[in-house]
Amino acid sequence: MKSKNLSEKILRSVKSKGFKYIELPSVIEANHIVQRSGENFRKFMFSFTDINGKELCLRPDLTIASCLRYLEGNFKGKEKIFYSGQAYRKVERKKDKIIRNQIGFEILGSKNEKKDDNEIITASLKILQNIQYSSGILTIGNIEIFNLLISKLDIPKRWKLRLSRHFWREEYFKDLLKRLETNADIDPTIVEVDKKRYLNLLKENPETMIAGRSVGEILKRFNAKIKDPRQANRGKKVSKIINSFLKIKCPINKAAEVLNNFFKSNRINLAVDQKYFPISHNKISKLNVVFDASFGRQQEYYTGLVFKIDIKSKSKNISIISGGRYDKLISDLGSKNQVAAVGAALNLNCQ
């Protein structure tokens, strides 16, 4: 998989689909990564301080480096780009690789999202023609459908935001559902304590900082929580609906039917058209195509379509290509306007 000839064939394959090759900086400002992934991610970064005191790091993610280029270059409108290079990230397991070799391709700033989604998957399938494999699976998910479901559930707004924000943190998300199911966060004693704290904080200067937040921010949160309590009998029902949704997995041509039956049986005012999905064929070449409602939790920045291609080659199961839509990433990095973005990356490390 690492051979130079194969990499060149793949790059030519992507270029033939109309993508323009670009170079990406190997070093970027560390705060861009921390802003997106939080302080906990800092331990995985290879960072250093320059002579002016600015914290820099080796790029741990090519997608963020590409989006920073679009933002800082003040690009406007549609760009179809591809790039190759290495991402650097400290690892917790010895068997994981510090340096990841990738080829990435993206469509940024376009207005035709469904067409672009299809084009990214088509380019991925074109790449596969250069790789020998016996069989495989193309898994498709969609974060937008999950967020639409959450928006329709009968729970307070703060819970909707919490569940949507932490969907990508799988273990923590499970803990949230347990709290939702057991109503642990609405213990009457805790509510009364919250009210007392709220009344005491009203006497404080709203600009005073407590654990990194101002008193004003804490009061705003308390106020919302006190005025918008969750009824105890709803938590278990909502948790069950979410868990049932995340178990949905079916051939892609049945995705709309299965989802709509689920929405109808749970009295949720949603409907999905099969045309919503970029593919409706259950078999493409040697790939089985499936929809998986729980898929898409690898990266925090995904917002819509997510997909991956796993292949079997020389008796090994390999996750070879993955990608999706990240429409909020460029605005999160500093753009005043939201920029549509979808892309994928080929993993050249696997063999």
Report the pLDDT averaged over residues 13-30. 92
Please tell me the class of the 4-148+249-347 domain: alpha beta
Domain ranges of the chain: 4-148+249-347, 154-240
- Phi/psi for 48 (5° steps) reads -160, 170
Query: What pLDDT does residue 187 have?
Result: 44
Instruction: Give pLDDT tens digits for 86-118.
Output: 999 888 777 778 898 899 999 999 989 999 999
Q: Which two tokens stand for residue 76?
A: 């406007």
Instruction: Give pLDDT tens digits for 246-260.
Output: 999 999 999 999 999
pLDDT confidence bin for 186, thresholds 50/70/90: very low
Predicted structure pTM score: 0.80
- Asked if residue 263 lies in contact with residue 107, where contact means CB atoms within 8 angstroms, the answer is no
Query: What pLDDT does residue 133 have?
Result: 87
Q: Which two tokens stand for residue 230?
A: 């969750």
Query: What pLDDT does residue 189 have?
Result: 45
Query: What pLDDT does residue 225 have?
Result: 61
- Asked if residue 263 lies in contact with residue 221, where contact means CB atoms within 8 angstroms, the answer is no
> If you average pLDDT over each of 40-54, 137-151, 168-182, 210-224, which comes out highest?
137-151
- Asked if residue 128 lies in contact with residue 278, where contact means CB atoms within 8 angstroms, the answer is no
Q: Which two tokens stand for residue 303?
A: 């917002």
Which residues pair with residue 135 across a beta bridge?
Answer: 312
Q: Which two tokens stand for residue 102?
A: 């990738």
Distance CA 205, CA 221 (A): 16
Distance CA 38, CA 40 (A): 5
Q: Which percentage of the chain shows pLDDT scores above 70?
A: 89
Instruction: Give pLDDT tens digits for 290-330.
Output: 999 999 877 778 999 999 999 987 778 888 999 999 999 89
Report the pLDDT averaged over residues 208-235. 68
Query: What pLDDT does residue 51 have?
Result: 92
Query: What pLDDT does residue 309 have?
Result: 95
Over the chain, what is the mean pLDDT? 86
- Phi/psi for 175 (5° steps) reads -65, -40
Distance CA 55, CA 58 (A): 11
Report the pLDDT averaged over residues 211-226. 71
User: Burial letters for 20-34: b for 16+ Cβ neighbours within 10 Å, e otherwise?
Assistant: eeeebeeebebebbb
Q: Which percentage of the chain shows pLDDT scores above 90?
A: 48
Query: What pLDDT does residue 207 have?
Result: 83
